Amino acid sequence: MVPGSEFSIDIRSEFPIKEQYVFLNHAGVAPIPASTQTAITEFARDAAEEGPANYPAWLHGMARAREAAGELLRCRPDDVCFVHNTTHGVLIIANSIRWREGDNVVGFEHEFPANIHPWRNLRERGVELRLVPEKADFRYSLDDLLAAIDARTRLVAVSWVEYGTGTRNDLAAIAEICRKRGVRLFVDAIQGLGVLPMDVQAYGIDFLAADGHKWLLAPEGCGILYVRPECIDDLNLSMCGWCGLRNPQDYDNYEQEYKPTAKRFEEGSHNLMTIHALGCSMRLLLDAGIEKIAERVLELTDWLMENLLAKGYDIVTPRSWRDRAGIVSARKSGVDPVELAKSLQEKKILVAARRGFLRISPHFYNDFEELQRLLNLLP
């Protein structure tokens, strides 16, 4: 079978990046598919030639993007709002919870800083951020998480997949701990969404945020935030603005209520062009099939791990699929990952160096031949 032929999309024409590079850094900033590029240029042409004459069609595009987000997360589209990035999603929740002095948030020690600073800055309001330490096997223990939670814990904030090690956290187990302790759960899903199936309701997630620029294959600066409907009334309105009102066009009516869903957090004018692009990329992934994408990424990363081991690399990422996603992090004594990533880039092979590891992150449209080209160049 031709690699990728199990997908209904034309991989060669959708991913022109393959002609120039072996792109294995989807945990960084990913390339966008050709159909998303076309959607952006078409939007820009329309805006240049017609101004806002086709605004209703633009709004329709946003509605379609919201539907795609709902399908990806398995929730109602209205429970999703568009945000400027993952951090913006974290900030909305961090600044909307009605904290009391002495409360705490529990997170993990080596999270990407997007999921640290908005919580850390709450210290000005007397809220403590507690970080569970990483174990020697680069995982976090649920017992340690449980031990960090006390009567003043209001929220647990973790990544679905850790950016440095590629470890996939057990969201179902974490959500169960949170539910039993009466604590809310926030998930930074940027390293999992687009490669793993998600179901916010089945997992029991309260809040989830992700920007589009990694596994979702969309431009930077536009993402999604899910807010569980039952949590809306717990959140204050300090992050809401005129677009979050029930009828934003009723400009003089300052007394009206805010929308009853996550959409109330879309505070002002939307970044419609980028929302369009995000919608287009999400639709492409949904059409390809997230389950199939996950299977393909599993195949590619399994092969990669076996071959890295054969070359003497120590694999930092857990071997079992249950505990990982599309990131493979590895190291080898005497090999500097920063220098290695730089020299590979000169040969048009894109990987990354994070936390002292070589981080390789293929998506479903990569193939074994590309992985072999990388392996041939590894010391």
Ligand X SMILES: Cc1ncc(COP(=O)(O)O)c(C=O)c1O
What is the binding site for ligand X (CB under 6 A)?
85-87, 112, 114-115, 159, 163, 188, 190-191, 211, 223
- Which parts of the chain are beta strand (E)? 22-23, 80-83, 104-108, 128-132, 153-159, 184-188, 207-211, 223-227, 314-315, 328-331, 349-350, 352-354, 357-360
Distance CA 82, CA 66 (A): 8
C-beta closer to ligand X: residue 86 or 96: 86
Q: Report the alpha-carbon distance of residue 82 to residue 124 in Å, rounded.
A: 28
Token pair of 175 as six digits? 């959500």
Cβ at position 190, least distance to ligand X in Å: 4
CB of residue 359 to ligand X, shortest distance in Å: 10
CB of 323 to ligand X, least distance (A): 16
Smallest separation (angstroms) from ligand X to the CB of 187: 10
Closer to ligand X by Cβ: residue 159 or 165: 159
Among 282, 304, 238, 256, which Cα is nearest to 66's? 282
What is each CA distance from 191 to 30, 96, 168, 363, in whole angstroms?
A: 12, 24, 9, 12
Residue closer to ligand X by CB (options 61, 107) is 107
Q: Compute the least distance from the CB of residue 90 to ligand X, in Å.
A: 8
- Short-list 76, 248, 231, CA closest to 154: 231
Q: Which is nearer to ligand X, 86 or 329 (CB)?
A: 86
d(CA 234, CA 219): 32
CB of 251 to ligand X, least distance (A): 31
Q: 290-310 vs 368-377: helix axis angle to the nearest 10?
A: 30
Determine the 3-state secondary structure of 322 from DSSP: helix
* Cβ closest to ligand X, residue 96 vs residue 259: 96
Nearer to ligand X, 274 or 367 (CB): 274
